Structure 1
Amino acid sequence: MKKGSTYQYVLAAFGAAIIAVLAQVTIPLPLIPITGQTLAVGIIVTILGTRLGTLSVLLYILLGAAGLPVFSGMSGGLGILVGPTGGYIVGFLATAIIMGLYLDKFGITFTQAIIANIIGMIVTLAFGTVWLKIVADYTWTAAFMGGVAPFIVVGIVKAVLAAWIGVIVRRRLERAHLIEAIA
């Protein structure tokens, strides 16, 4: 069942809200905390696809940039985006696009969703690491050790979890004719 644009914007806003809520799930680490944001981005893109998933992420970033406390630790504002963790947040946009395009091409199965979410994790970590190197003036080794190494295992677990939740929710929403099935 094809829904109107207002319905689609509501879905995108709901996606942004889910990212904002899961961003508050935080495990503090010395430099970059482990948060639920990456899990949420993976779930939302798996459920909503390229266009609406990317719109959800963009809305989330814009809300945070405007100062609403949607980023981890109930923070917001441009200062977060230009700070050490900003690259990860900005990277969510590229992550959503790349994940969505992958799922569009290969379909939304559990296996393909895991692969898409792992690719998304790599994209997010790459953006974050480059940003961290530049903003914190780290060496590449220090940026990798602080911005990637601690997140590899957790990232894989979150990728599998996002794929599992995303595929299940997407299938249920398709059966209920609340979102369109992707062929």
Structure 2
Amino acid sequence: MKKGNTYQYLLAAIGAAIIAILAQVTIPLPLVPITGQTLAIGLIVTILGTRLGTLSVLLYILLGAVGMPVFSGMSGGLGVVVGPTGGYIVGFLPSAIIMGLYMKKFGITIPHAIVANIIGMIVTLALGTAWLKIAADLTWTAAFMGGAAPFIIVGILKAVLAAYLGVVVRRRLETAHLIEVTA
């Protein structure tokens, strides 16, 4: 069953809200904290697909950029987006697009969702680390050691969790005719 535009936008808004809620789950580290944001983004894109998942991420970023306290630590504002950790936030958007396109091409199965979520993690870490290097005036080594290395293992774990939960939830929503079934 085809759902109307209002319903689609509502799903995207719910996705943005879920990202904002999970962003508040934070494990503080010296330079960049481990947050639930990347888990939420992988989960939302896996559940909603490329278009609505990306729209959810864009809405989340825009809400934070205009000052809504949706980023980790109940922060928000353009200063956060252009600050040292802003590259991770900005990186969520291409990450969502790439994850969604990968699953659209290869299918929304647990193995493909895991690969897509790991690719998304790499994109987010790469952009975030590059941004951190520039914004904090760090060497590449310092930026990698502070902005990527500590997050690789936990990122893989979050990618696997987001993929598994995302596929399970997506299938249940499809069965309930709340989202469209994928081919």
With the shorter chain as reference, the TM-score category is over 0.9
Q: What is the alpha-carbon distance in structure 2 between the residues aligned to residue 91 and residue 182 of structure 1?
A: 26
Q: What is the alpha-carbon distance in structure 1 between the residues aligned to residue 164 and residue 84 of structure 2?
A: 30
Q: Extract unaligned runs of 5+ from structure 1.
A: none
Q: Extract unaligned runs of 5+ from structure 2.
A: none
How does the TM-score come out when normalised to structure 2?
A: 0.99
Partner of 1:31, secondary structure, is coil
- 1:89 has 2:95 as partner: no
Match of 1:162 in 2: 162
Q: What is the alpha-carbon distance in structure 2 between the residues aligned to residue 60 and residue 42 of structure 1?
A: 14
Aligned residues: 183
Q: What is the alpha-carbon distance in structure 2 between the residues aligned to residue 148 and residue 46 of structure 1?
A: 23
| Equivalence map 1:130-145=2 (5 Å) | 130-145=130-145
Q: What is the alpha-carbon distance in structure 1 between the residues aligned to residue 52 and residue 125 of structure 2?
A: 22
Alignment deviations for residues 104-143 of structure 1 (CA, whole Å, 9 cap, x no partner)? 0000000000000000000000110110011001111111
RMSD between aligned alpha carbons?
0.4
| Equivalence map 1:8-87=2 (5 Å) | 8-87=8-87
| Equivalence map 1:100-179=2 (5 Å) | 100-179=100-179
One-letter amino acid of the structure 1 residue matched with residue 70 of structure 2? V
Partner of 2:2, secondary structure, is coil
Compute the displacement of 1:181 (Å).
Answer: 1.2
Alignment deviations for residues 129-172 of structure 1 (CA, whole Å, 9 cap, x no partner)? 11001100111111100000000000000000000110000000
